[in-house]
Amino acid sequence: MKKIIIILCIVTFFCCAGFAENKETAKWEYKFTNGGFWSCGQNFAGGFGEFGFNLLSEENNFLVRDCIFIQGQGGYLAKNDSLEYGALEIGNKLIFGGKSNCDKFIIRSYGFAAGGVGLYICEGHKIFSMPLLIDLSFGGGFEFQYTRHMAFVIEFGGTSRMFVGKNRNKENNISDYSKSTPSLTIGFRSFK
């Protein structure tokens, strides 16, 4: 709980500092985004980068964006949190929501759905062997854009991880394991 409070205080500080410094009228248009993020949940943490593009122009203050991401994460797989793992995933995120053009900044609120597939390594499991790690995420977020080319992002949601494929290692029986957890993501997006 202390970590979440510290993170929210940092978020508030950066947003307030950006709003105070900006002196432009916020009617900025863009086609592409990229960004860097840190995400954590109950039994995992990691970082990812993404590249996105608008599926529709932001007419009528409606946002639809598609993002491709590459993520590295680590945490625990076993139900008793005894099996540590590391994973590399690639996936896709669909963002849909709205925006509010204010005098000196833009706020976008949105929902998202994401899915990815990844390779993982842990004790008794080689990285290029089956099963594969599947990661599904749903939630909502906010973009606080207070400069023309940059926005601060915070997302809240849930993540569900599961395995697909036949487990060839009988000693490491994790193919039937599934875990859902709340998640928090903070980061930035740049606009071009």
Q: Enter the tokens of residue 9.
A: 């205080």
Q: Looking at residue 167, what is its pLDDT?
A: 63
The secondary element (H helix, E strand) that includes residue 10 is helix 2-21
Q: pLDDT tens-digit profile of 106-159?
A: 899 999 999 999 998 888 778 888 888 888 999 999 999 988 889 999 999 998
What is the distance between the alpha carbons of residues 148 and 190, in angstroms, rounded to a whole number?
9
The pLDDT > 70 percentage for the chain reads 76
The model's pTM is: 0.78
Query: CA-CA distance, 154 to 159, in Å (whole number)?
Result: 15
pLDDT, tens digit (0-9, with 9 covering 90-100), for 159-189: 888 888 776 555 555 544 567 788 999 999 9
Q: What is the mean pLDDT of residues 77-83?
A: 66
> Which is more confident, 70 or 61?
70
Q: What is the mean pLDDT of residues 84-93?
A: 93
